[in-house]
Amino acid sequence: MHTFEANGVTTAYQKTGRGAPLVLLHGGEADHAMFDDLVRALSDHFTVIAYDQRDSGATRNITATYSLADLADDADALIGGLGHDRAHVMGTSLGGLIAQVLAARHPDRIDRLILSSTWKVNKSPLEVNADVFRRLASYRADTAANAPKIAEFFFPPDCLRDRPELIEIFRGNSRDDGQKARRGGVLAQPVAADLSGFDRPTLLLAGSEDRLIPNAETFAIARDLKRAKTRVIEQVGHVSSIQAPERVAEAVIAFLNS
């Protein structure tokens, strides 16, 4: 891991491969490691930059609260700080929200944009999928015991039967209580994210078996974009970069090289 300092944050990142830069923005409870297999599948085609957001992985930041706007500004600073005028950007789940705010606040920093398994900024998770998010909240009272139930919202049943080790992802993480509170509070802070002026090509990517974020919620973002395409990866759940990295890479490469 390398580090980059800006905005009072020491951001830990990996930079792998060759070609045009592609920045990956991970989900809310993950870190850059969720993209490990995807990075390997993409690194022959792009210079892939996968980093840990605030209160994630090896990144270090002060204990002040922050918003999606702050996280988007971190991404902007990292891209510029690594010497790139602009980069392709892919955000998944919460990372997709950060990517939308980045596109609104720093549109010239993005070449092409990919929004995967995500939803419209400022729409609460309860508006997106109330029953599932309420059940997840109850299960997280005891993640060690409820990890198998939590995993079912992120990976399809067949995937979990074939790869039961994925359940361990949900038994807890290394964040302390302060880090969890700051990450959990991000979505409670409204942020300006007007995409009407963003004119870069955008791909909205979803897994057909995503039980957490309905495909319709991801594809609804197209209404705010000038140049949007949609693509469904069949038989894949919410965390497509772990379940089917080669198929995700195929979709990403086809879009970015089109």
The two tokens of residue 5 are 């300092």
Residue 46 sits at the vertex; the CA angle it makes with 44 and 49, to the nearest 5 degrees, is: 115
Going by C-alpha positions, the residue among 164, 223, 171, 236 that lies closest to residue 196 is 223
Number of domains in the chain: 1
Owning domain of residue 66 = 2-256
pLDDT given at position 75 = 98
pLDDT in tens, 97-111: 999 999 999 999 999
Gap between the Cα atoms of 110 and 79, Å rounded: 9
Gap between the Cα atoms of 87 and 109, Å rounded: 6
- Asked if residues 155 and 60 have their Cβ atoms less than 8 Å apart, the reply is no
pLDDT given at position 179 = 95
Gap between the Cα atoms of 193 and 196, Å rounded: 9
Ranges under pLDDT 70 in the chain: none
- The CATH code of the domain that includes 29 is 3.40.50.1820
- Asked if residues 176 and 204 have their Cβ atoms less than 8 Å apart, the reply is no
Residue 200 sits at the vertex; the CA angle it makes with 45 and 83, to the nearest 5 degrees, is: 55
- Asked if residues 123 and 191 have their Cβ atoms less than 8 Å apart, the reply is no
pLDDT given at position 172 = 78
Is the pTM higher than 0.95? The answer reads yes
DSSP H helical ranges for the chain: 36-42, 68-81, 94-105, 125-139, 143-151, 157-162, 177-184, 215-219, 240-243, 245-256
pLDDT given at position 173 = 76
